[in-house]
Structure 1
Amino acid sequence: MVCGGFFCAKNALSVLNILYVMVSLLLIGVAAWGKWFGLVSSINVVAGVIGVGVFLLLVAFVGLCGAMKHQQVLLFFYMIILSLVFVLQFSISCACLALNKDQQNQLLEVGWNKSEATQNDVQKSLNCCGYSSVNFSTSCPAQCFSSPQTCVSCSSILQTYAGEVLRFIGGIGLFFSFTEILGVWLTHKYRNLKDPGSNPGAFL
């Protein structure tokens, strides 16, 4: 059977959705692991990552069910959802790759000021205190806080890694956005193929 056949498209779509299931479970597992071991104390960050993982799991489940049963309605909604996710993810990925140093610094400062729990996580993991300067009149969970001469502000450390992290996130996002386009194309092709095992007179 040629690769453009019904079963080839079905298998390719199934494999793609199994990949999405694995990624979604990885996201959920990493978020739960980080919360369990105290690496991330912000419930908003954990809930956000788990929410993305659950959403991706549901989308993959719809795609798998549609692929296995050749359900036209499920495949149609799967195609629409995947198209919307592609637009959103592609836009965010391009924005991550296009940010300059000043924009990165503004983004970091906004994120820093939004949550005290996030500040504590960053200060503890990077061993720094404060965003732009160290304020010894307040408390800080970093180990360096007990030795003032060794403590530095978090902005200098964050700015060092911000560009690399954004490029990594943007690259990963672009990779998965193209897999989503592949998924839309495969789904469209698969929907228009006749199931050789179905009733020849049945309407597909």
Structure 2
Amino acid sequence: MVCGGFTCSKNALCSLNVVYMLVGLLLIGVAAWGKGFGLVSSIHIIGGVIAVGFFLLLIAIVGLIGAIHHHQVMLFFYMVILFIVFLFQFGVSCSCLAMNRGQQEALLSSAWNLIESKTRMDLETQLNCCGLFKNSSSSFDMDYASCPALCKTDNNCVTCGVKMLNHATEALKILGGVGLFFSFTEILGVWLAVRYRNQKDPRANPSAFL
């Protein structure tokens, strides 16, 4: 069977979904590891990563079962959902790559105000800094007063925003690049699903309706 035929499309789609399953399991495992070792204490962050991993795992299972059984309905829902995920991830990845320093500061300020105080203290301890930006909000003095970082004993703390921004551009480029690459694997999955769904199983009854 030449590549591009029924068997080749089936094997390619199955292999792609196995990779998605491994990525989903990796996300769930990393979240559990981070929680177990106390690297992240926020249940919202852990829950969010686990939810993303579980969603990816679920989509991969639907695609894998649909590919193995050549199930028309499952393949249809698989390619529709995967295409929606592709659009969302492509937009987010492009935004990460195009974000300037002012936008990074605004994003950090919004995220800092949304996270709970325990998570802020974890970040301050790990980064050895206090507060976000001195002029970002009126809560800076409160953050500094409750800051558990070691640098506070020497009164030599820099703000966490400065430390984060020193690596934010590089981190956003990496995240945007990885997300962009992964989004193209998703559009590849959509193309394979459409191609495979419209192909005739050579082992099936020639008069059967696809």
Q: Equivalent of 1:139, from 117, 130, 146?
A: 146
Match of 2:109 in 1: 109
Q: Deviations over 1:14-41 (max 9, x none)?
A: 0100010011011111111111111011
| Count of aligned pairs between the two proteins | 203
What residue ranges of structure 2 are gaps of 5+ in the alignment? 135-139
Q: Deviations over 1:103-125 (max 9, x none)?
A: 00110111111122331221111
> In the alignment, residue 177 of structure 2 is paired with which amino acid?
G
Q: Deviations over 1:113-156 (max 9, x none)?
A: 1122331221111111111247596122222222213x211111
What residue ranges of structure 1 are gaps of 5+ in the alignment? none
Q: Which moves more between the two structures, 130-139 or 74-83? A: 130-139
Q: Which moves more between the two structures, 44-53 or 109-118? A: 109-118
Match of 1:197 in 2: 203
CA separation in 2, counterparts of 1:36 and 1:184? 36
CA separation in 1, counterparts of 2:44 and 2:125? 18
CA separation in 2, counterparts of 1:71 and 1:27? 28
Match of 1:32 in 2: 32
How far residue 161 of structure 1 moved from its aligned partner, in angstroms, is 0.9
CA separation in 2, counterparts of 1:79 and 1:89? 15
CA separation in 2, counterparts of 1:166 and 1:203? 49
Match of 1:122 in 2: 123
Q: Which moves more between the two structures, 186-195 or 127-136? A: 127-136
Q: Which moves more between the two structures, 55-64 or 108-117? A: 108-117
CA separation in 2, counterparts of 1:30 and 1:203? 45
Do the aligned residues in 1 keep the contact of 2:130 with 2:144 (CA within 8 Å)?
A: no
Q: 1:173 aligns to what SS in structure 2?
A: helix
Do the aligned residues in 2 keep the contact of 1:112 with 1:118 (CA within 8 Å)?
A: no
> In the alignment, residue 152 of structure 1 is paired with which amino acid?
V
Match of 1:46 in 2: 46
TM-score (norm 2): 0.92
- 1:158 matches 2:164: yes
Q: Percent identity?
A: 59
How far residue 182 of structure 1 moved from its aligned partner, in angstroms, is 0.4
> In the alignment, residue 141 of structure 1 is paired with which amino acid?
P
CA separation in 1, counterparts of 2:77 and 2:42? 34
Q: Deviations over 1:153-196 (max 9, x none)?
A: 11110110111111111111100110011001101110111111
Do the aligned residues in 1 keep the contact of 2:130 with 2:160 (CA within 8 Å)?
A: yes
CA separation in 1, counterparts of 2:144 and 2:60? 50
CA separation in 2, counterparts of 1:83 and 1:107? 27
Match of 2:137 in 1: none
Q: Deviations over 1:39-88 (max 9, x none)?
A: 01111111111110000000000000000000000000001001100010
Match of 1:177 in 2: 183
CA separation in 2, counterparts of 1:120 and 1:67? 47
Do the aligned residues in 1 keep the contact of 2:89 with 2:180 (CA within 8 Å)?
A: yes
Do the aligned residues in 1 keep the contact of 2:96 with 2:173 (CA within 8 Å)?
A: yes
TM-score (norm 1): 0.95
